[in-house]
Structure 1
Amino acid sequence: MPFRIFIPIILSFMIFPFQAQAFEGLVQTTDEGGSIAWGNGEVSVVRSVEGAAADESDQALSPMAVRKAATQARKELLDMVLSVRIDGHQTVGAFLSGDSDLAAQVRGLIQNSLFQGPGLYEEQGKVRVSERFRGPLAELVLPVTIQFQSGIPPKLSTATSQNVDMPGNAPEQVGGGNRGYTGVVVDARGLKITPALAPIIYGQDGYGAYGTFQVSRTNAAEKGVAVYAVDDDPKVLQERVGSRPLSVRALSAYGSWRTDMVISAADARLVRAIVKSGPIADGCRVVILVDRPEQPEQPKGEGDA
């Protein structure tokens, strides 16, 4: 085998394993074959090609049937994107409803989303389309009205603070530097948190501890303000938060959609201090642990008790 051919083959084996191990985090699925991976931001839909038989080769599939399946999958993909919550106030769909130009750009992006045909990466007779809440899509759906990197922590509304103890003055930052912490892990399991693109973590002191006010819009679009995970294995989370993250416990969910969390006042002061130092905010190195999605009950067979 010529040397110039041998090298690309070696490189392909070096590259693809890393891609296969991309951090997926929490994965939510739909009955229509869709899924959202809140670790890497990928939204995908897998759709069967109409008329495909189990024993039929992919080459025999009608191009028209494949095109139809792809069109249906992209429609489902768009519906999924529009249903995602930006924050506790609005979904992507609600935000885009007020801007026809942005809405058209998002539709165009989905229309040209990544396509994988039958027999390539998916099961026989299936197509897969995907987009990511990173880069171009995130740039379109993150409202410019959000005060990214303002340095001013938002304050909980006293009318809906859910009995949170709120002093009159903002809490002081504690210490200097990040004390060697490489990220933040917020354990919100048991609180029925709703994932969102721009969640806010508040302290019991009533002020934001982490959120868009601490990260740039560019970093938020490229990395996600925070990611969601169901596995608390440090080796799994290390890709996002490094080898020595600060772990804190969420005490309650906040807002009617339960997108935001409240942690203790002491934890909030520490989070503000270590995030303020730079690397954690620049890398959006925050993971929110949530419950595993409930699995639908399997119908019992005739022989089951």
Structure 2
Amino acid sequence: MAQAGMQELLKKTLAENKDIVPSDPLFLHNGELYPTMICCPETLKILDTFETRSDDVILVGYPKTGTNWVGQILVELEAASGKYDEEERRKRSMRQRERELSLFPYLEFGDPAKFEILVLFRNPKDTAVSYLHFANGLKLLPTPKTWDEFFSDFIKGKVPWGLYLDHIIEWNKYLDDKNVMFITYEQIKENAALEIKRMAEFFDFTVNEQEIQSIVEKTSFKTMKDEASETNEGIGKFLFRKGVVGDWKNVFSEDQNKEMDRKFEESVAKTKLGMMMKYDVYCQY
């Protein structure tokens, strides 16, 4: 399963790097920072010429916007739809899946015109809070950060994978593309069955209402967190923390709240994608 594969990959990477302190924990690629522990320049360069198959499903998301969750939903949709026969499933061997999975977080650097893409977003305040715990837990940052330190870096884009608001602005260019579907973490939290049905229709997965409800249950936050705790306790607690909307209210100071509001208003609020994210609903007290 997608979440198990990702957890295993992270667990293996952490184990291999447990006693290694890289001289430079972050590196620049095309103007953005990446963590040395799990990324390398050679991999990112290869993605410039990465070629997809006609039936590939590509999920794009900034860290901690819900990609692990939605990735599992897509895996469940594929399985329930019976889209691949047994022979095709054998071809898509576990080794091949692991190779694809190890590349999966970086495929957004490919050409968006080549394949169907699901692009996931989450409100920037909850994203920032979740990202801090994830980055500190997996040691993606040079040194552990306090919330105040991290917020200062996050709002300036001085974190791995760059400025989240820039990510939103870039993908706003593709909002009307027919081969790109946009979805938000908050939409799925509000009505998972409806959004899973939308994903199924977009990617041509044939599933009935009963199968959709089963996927809702299999991919609930509690189910995925429990499974992660059983199989990869050390990694699971960083991938699945609270899974709620609005946790930022417990962390943001008044000044930080105003600064994020101002940055969003200046750069993103008036874009179509910015309006789709319902900032006024999810990022106000």
TM tier, smaller: under 0.3
Name the one with the larger strand percent.
Answer: 1
TM (norm. structure 1) is: 0.24
TM (norm. structure 2) is: 0.25
Name the one with the larger helix percent.
Answer: 2
Larger radius of gyration: 1
